[in-house]
Amino acid sequence: MMKLVSDRGSEEVENPLKISFEFFPPKTEVMDVKLWTAVKRLAPLDPEFVSVTYGAGGSTRSRTHATIGRILSETDLTPASHLTCVDATRSELDEIARDYWDMGVRHIVALRGDPQDGIGTAYRPAAGGYAYADDLVAGLKRQAPFEVSVSAYPERHPESGSWDTEIDVLKRKVDAGADRAITQFFFDNDLFEAYLERVRAAGISIPVVPGILPIHNFSQVESFAGRCGTSVPGWLRHRFAGLDDDPVTRQMVAATVAAEQVFDLTDRGIDQFHFYTMNRAELVFAICHMLGRRPNVQDQAAA
């Protein structure tokens, strides 16, 4: 049974946790302010890296590139750019990879990407492109000695027909050179543990880092979870029941739920976590504080 935050203290996490944060590039000036407020708030926590998402289409790609550039020039953070196979030729992606290397980026999160027509529709490899994530991983490794992270799915990718297929896809990415796997968000730690046992039984030894999603809006998260194949336990739904119009209480519950999840995973031997920030710092900062990951006095003064 999961041990509640109220039953323990952050000092019970004996070894320093490794953390990383995911951001997405802003589309508007208001979103830009929100992003950089979050970056500056979380930077003193000294994450291993921060990743920036990437979508199909030139405007999205340019925003990712600009965000990565600003992180490099204005912070001491280590950025990792997402890169997908969607709507791009091999030569285009190779050029993007070389540009990132020349900028100083040494870490890429290599993904197949969502189907062009949205989750739930058929995926079509781009003509002349890297068809799948393992192809992209191999291509990146040919361009430069990038550190490469890939995706993993504790409840199977929606397009996987079986666990054999799911594990085989991950193994192909590892064989192509992947250094780390970061999971889709999940809420049931037993499912993650069962997945990790399958991965290790298949001889896959790279780190598998849990993706943690703090819940800012339960209804939105539940809807998104349904589209990407993530189950929502009844106890979690009960925790957020009646809080749609009570953001203050909802935020307190969300921080407690996520901290409980991470504490429980540390009890199971996990010491690396990737937080999907949604470009908001408050919940992630509170969770890290409860876990004992805090900025030092000098960092706080500088912030």
Asked if the structure places residue 260 within a domain, the reply is no
The string of pLDDT tens digits covering residues 27-56 is 999 999 999 999 999 999 999 999 999 865
Q: Are 216 and 278 in contact (CB under 8 A)?
A: yes
The pLDDT assigned to 273 comes to 97
Cα separation, 263 vs 270, whole angstroms: 9
CATH number of the domain residue 104 falls in? 3.20.20.220
Asked if the structure places residue 101 within a domain, the reply is yes
Asked if the structure places residue 240 within a domain, the reply is no
> Which member of 14, 22, 147, 222 is catalytic?
22
Nearest partner of 208 among 164, 264, 260, 149, judged by Cα: 149
Q: Which residues contact 22 (CB under 8 A, 6 or more apart)?
A: 50, 51, 52, 53, 274, 275, 276, 277
Residue type, 82: H
Asked if the structure places residue 26 within a domain, the reply is yes
The string of pLDDT tens digits covering residues 268-283 is 999 999 999 999 999 9
Report the chain's C-alpha Rg in angstroms. Answer: 19
The string of pLDDT tens digits covering residues 69-110 is 999 999 999 999 999 999 899 999 999 999 999 999 999 999
Cα separation, 295 vs 275, whole angstroms: 17
The string of pLDDT tens digits covering residues 204-235 is 999 999 999 999 999 999 999 998 899 999 99
Asked if the structure places residue 189 within a domain, the reply is yes
Whole-model pTM? 0.91
Q: Is 22 a catalytic residue?
A: yes
For residue 82, what are the β-bridge partners? 109
Nearest partner of 140 among 97, 200, 204, judged by Cα: 97
Cα separation, 254 vs 287, whole angstroms: 9
Number of domains present in the structure of the chain? 1
